[in-house]
Structure 1
Amino acid sequence: MPKISIIVPVYQVEKYLEKCVNSILGQTFTDFELILVDDGSTDHGPEMCDQYAKQDARVKVIHKKNGGLSDARNAGIDVAQGEYLGFVDSDDYIAPDMYELLYRDITKENADLAICGIYDVYEGHEPKQKPVIHKVMDQQTAIKVIFEGNIISVHAVNKLYRRQIFTKLRYPVGKYHEDSFVILDVLEQCQKIVVDSQQKYFYYHREGSINTEHFSSSQFDFIEAWVKNGERLASMYPQLADVGRQRICFANFMVLDKLIRGQAEHEYAETKKIVHYLRSNFGFIMRNPIFTKQRKISMILLMLSLRLYRIPVMIQKKHNS
């Protein structure tokens, strides 16, 4: 049996798939199986997957009808044979030693979860480096760090999981931001977590991806996920209630920004609810050290008017375009 099962959902990504798969097959850690899950692609992705399987015995391919990212990940989990599980999105790529780093950390510390850092990659922009930390954490500390989000994110893809975590757990089909919906389910099963925030995963923000597409109502799932997480966290660890509240505020900011970038803020009644929630948390946001100076300036503008808040959002959009 392979030590690691790496699961890659594949859907309409023929332009990016070669770079993704080659970055995995070129890992310095070689004891893995690569499960490519063709989620009903209509481009050349399915043929490319089959060709990889012919070239490398570590590659397995699943062909299925389209069910979305969560459904594809779940299909991969169902057939995975590895002692540990990892996920890579098919339009991203990874550093050659990512899984060597994660495997060394999780086995050395006998941990349930190992995490590395992420580069956010935008076309035409140099990825930003973040501070590096290396810590072994208990459950409560890891929840705090991940919820705060400044060093380590909730993404599924920059992690190596002990397989038993997914004995019953699966990703929610039909939900956007599926990683946010399951992060507490994952961490509740972890007693020891190793964080090495060296950036080894390259998260490519492509046009038409979940982070850059025109606004759709599915984006409200992000707020739903963090409201649920906040409520559960307050019950699990009352002393971390403010951490959950901070993340709910962050989710509202993110969705409001996407509404504005998609020029859809006047199309949804939820916009008023988001603005009301953020304004009602003005003092909390301004006192919270997790929110950046720029975010606090934006919050002041929002207290004055949504029209003024729109200005820095559109400036940032232009900068990233």
Structure 2
Amino acid sequence: MDEKISVIVPVYNVEQYLERCVASIINQTYKNLEIILVNDGSTDNSGQLCDELAKKDDRIRVIHKKNGGLSDARNVGIAEAEAELIGFIDSDDYIDEDMYEMLINNLKAANADLSMCGHYDVYHNLPEAQVTEKKTWELSPQEAIKMVMEAKILSVTAVNKLYKKSLFSEFKFEIGKIAEDAFIMIKLLDKCNKIVATNEKKYYYVHRENSITTQKFSLKFLNVIEAYEQNKEIILEKYPELKEVAQMRMNWAYFYVLDRLLLDKDYNDKKLENKLISYLKDHSKSILTDSLFTKGRKIGFVALLLNRNLYRKIIEKRGY
């Protein structure tokens, strides 16, 4: 008999997206699923909708809990999962009908602990194109860490993957952090014996109309730097050959936080701004010589070295 997969879906105020998400799981070609909807204290009709959906398919189980955030909801789902294989789907996203069939087939064929696929970025309900050349790799932890840190083919996102549940025996998603995936993914890959990955896109990652140019800055964005500092420590200790990609991600994290700080015209923290810019200036050489940074990013960085107001205008225009 096919091995069961527990699919964990944290739900919080997503009534307009939830049915599409759940329908894409119900309609999977791989049928032996346990679908765990974790209603994380929704204040709209999402919780009621979860209960209604559960009546339509006996594979659906609903857990209602007080609001604790995405990480807490995922951790509750892991603890409740009956299967030895688990996956995560965010409730505003959706998947191709054969995603789990492909992920489990690859996992079994490679005798791997974790199976990954590519994802579509979806803006304004329009997914980007599928890859032209589909490839599959069997990877060591070091190779997989390099691939997700580079983020050209695969990334640290938790959702487009199938895991042996045992990987989570030591680790949980960190509660109260943003960038929760970045905090855990390198630890999980390090724990694997083998990882299998395909660049074929099967997961639809929906970007909602919350443009970063209008997003409010908060000090929580510093979690992104914290996550990649943690990852850099793991890499320097266990995979020193990957120190350059670890530094690239640190540079990227500092850009990420700086851009959001500068794009919020209502938030003013010159001390933090100076600290972020100082770090980037100290790593000028690695930024300007790194092939993983785009030409546009490098031109923007040169502008930052000259004048931060000029840099702000560039990122406003580019929407970094």
Q: CA deviation at 1:119?
A: 1.1
Matched residue, 1:298: 300
Please say if residues 111 and 194 of structure 1, whose CA atoms lie closer than 8 Å, have aligned partners that are also in contact: yes
Q: CA deviation at 1:217?
A: 1.5
**Matches of residues 1-321 of structure 1 in structure 2 within 5 Å?**
3-123=4-124, 126-130=127-131, 132-208=134-210, 213-263=215-265, 266-267=268-269, 269-317=271-319
Question: What is the alpha-carbon distance in structure 2 between the residues aligned to residue 99 and residue 214 of structure 1?
Answer: 36
Give the letter for the 2:139 counterpart. M
Change (3 A) 1:266 1:284: same
Q: CA deviation at 1:285?
A: 1.0
Please say if residues 130 and 151 of structure 1, whose CA atoms lie closer than 8 Å, have aligned partners that are also in contact: no
Give the letter for the 2:263 counterpart. R
Partner of 1:188: helix, strand, or coil?
Answer: helix
Greater alpha carbon shift after TM alignment, 130-139 vs 286-295: 130-139
Q: Deviations over 1:162-195 (max 9, x none)?
A: 1110123211111111001111210121111111
TM-score w.r.t. the length of structure 1 is: 0.94
Q: CA deviation at 1:212?
A: 7.2
Greater alpha carbon shift after TM alignment, 2-11 vs 63-72: 2-11
Task: Give the alignment's Cα RMSD to 1 decimal.
Answer: 2.0
Partner of 1:15: helix, strand, or coil?
Answer: coil
Q: Deviations over 1:117-152 (max 9, x none)?
A: 111111165525556432111111111111111111
Greater alpha carbon shift after TM alignment, 80-89 vs 306-315: 306-315
Q: CA deviation at 1:58?
A: 0.6
Q: CA deviation at 1:296?
A: 1.1
Change (3 A) 1:12 1:193: same
Of all paired residues, the percent bearing the same amino acid is 45
Q: Deviations over 1:263-321 (max 9, x none)?
A: 3563363221111111111111111111111111111111111112112311123xx9x
Partner of 2:17: helix, strand, or coil?
Answer: helix
Partner of 1:204: helix, strand, or coil?
Answer: strand
Question: What is the alpha-carbon distance in structure 2 between the residues aligned to residue 207 and residue 236 of structure 1?
Answer: 40
Change (3 A) 1:99 1:126: closer
Give the letter for the 2:273 counterpart. T
Change (3 A) 1:301 1:291: same
Greater alpha carbon shift after TM alignment, 30-39 vs 181-190: 181-190
Change (3 A) 1:85 1:264: farther
Give the letter for the 1:28 counterpart. T
Question: What is the alpha-carbon distance in structure 2 between the residues aligned to residue 204 and residue 212 of structure 1?
Answer: 18
In structure 1, stretches of 5+ residues that fail to align are: none
Change (3 A) 1:210 1:314: closer
Q: Deviations over 1:206-260 (max 9, x none)?
A: 1359997422211110011101111221111112111111110111111222223
Question: What is the alpha-carbon distance in structure 1 between the residues aligned to residue 35 and residue 301 of structure 2?
Answer: 44
Give the letter for the 1:80 counterpart. A
Question: What is the alpha-carbon distance in structure 1 between the residues aligned to residue 172 and residue 228 of structure 2?
Answer: 18
TM-score w.r.t. the length of structure 2 is: 0.94
Please say if residues 212 and 260 of structure 2, whose CA atoms lie closer than 8 Å, have aligned partners that are also in contact: no
Change (3 A) 1:199 1:38: same
